[in-house]
Structure 1
């Protein structure tokens, strides 16, 4: 699903983001915004509007929680519900199941990432991997979005 060239591109993107000081928490936040953008632009029409509305609600909640310190009591019920949806729809609606997995990532933070110790510098590879299960041709748009994010955050830091 992800080839060697894509892995190299993601590793290069990770390096760019890390060099500009983009934190894991900022990557999570921007991934949430990217998913919302895809929904609003109609790029995930393979999934019903009702299900997209539900995921939009979770993404909005993740962004709201991410703007403050994550409260386990607030995020845990959402994560549990999302994992339930992911499992329930895995066979009958794989695209929705994959989107639920993408949204679960939006409830993560830097502490989670460090604790999980996947061996990857950032969660970007996982973000793209899960998202390609929903939208197979998203790589270029994903990379461009995060490149813009890195540049915009670097410019803010310079001001």
Structure 2
């Protein structure tokens, strides 16, 4: 998998699932993580204007009380984001990859089960897509989700 991080992802998945974190919660944490990367200026290979546009989508994803509660908004977001992702595949691959990350933030547990990717959770895909934008993200990604797992389990 990614830089021999397959075992790390599997351990992280086990940790989060054993701590009671749902796939929907993982999706929400991913949206928060992406916002944090933007706020910390980690995505220097994407223009501020484009990041600002994606920030509004991420904020919208987080504003949904549950990902199942507003199916119309989820579908509308997919319908808006996929053409953006496609438009920039050739001219701005980093931005296109980031749009794909944002698209993941509108997925939910039902979507994941229907996709039947063979992976326990979407964490591997989350890391795979963001590494296309920010190749050195691994340590931050793992630390962020470990902290999220601690919070979900009532730890640190």
Q: In the alignment, which residue of structure 2 is the partner of 1:121?
A: 120
Unpaired runs of 5+ residues, structure 1, are none
Q: In the alignment, which residue of structure 2 is the partner of 1:70?
A: 69
Quote the Cα distance in structure 2 between the aligned partners of 1:29 and 1:155: 18
Quote the Cα distance in structure 2 between the aligned partners of 1:66 and 1:92: 35
1:2 pairs with 2:11:
no
Q: TM-score, normalised by structure 2?
A: 0.95
The 5 Å alignment of 1:2-81 reads 2-3=2-3, 5-67=4-66, 69-81=68-80
Q: Over aligned residue pairs, what C-alpha RMSD do you find?
A: 1.3
For residue 2 of structure 2, give the secondary structure of its aligned residue in structure 1.
coil
CA contact (8 A) 1:89 1:97 kept: yes
For residue 107 of structure 1, give the secondary structure of its aligned residue in structure 2.
coil
Quote the Cα distance in structure 1 between the aligned partners of 2:99 and 2:58: 10
Which runs of structure 1 show a deviation greater than 6 angstroms over 4 or more consecutive aligned residues? none
Shift of 1:66: 4.7
For residue 126 of structure 2, give the secondary structure of its aligned residue in structure 1.
helix
CA contact (8 A) 2:98 2:129 kept: yes
Q: How many residues align?
A: 155
Q: In the alignment, which residue of structure 1 is the partner of 2:136?
A: 137
**1:96-126, Cα deviation, whole Å (9 max, x unpaired):** 0000000000001111111111111000000
CA contact (8 A) 2:67 2:107 kept: no
Quote the Cα distance in structure 2 between the aligned partners of 1:17 and 1:111: 18
Quote the Cα distance in structure 2 between the aligned partners of 1:70 and 1:123: 20
**Larger helix share, 1 or 2:** 1
CA contact (8 A) 1:32 1:63 kept: yes
Cα distance change of structure 1 residues 107 and 66 upon mapping to structure 2, 3 Å threshold: farther
Q: TM-score, normalised by structure 1?
A: 0.93
CA contact (8 A) 2:67 2:106 kept: no
Shift of 1:8: 0.8
Is 29-38 or 5-14 further displaced after alignment?
A: 5-14
Shift of 1:77: 1.5
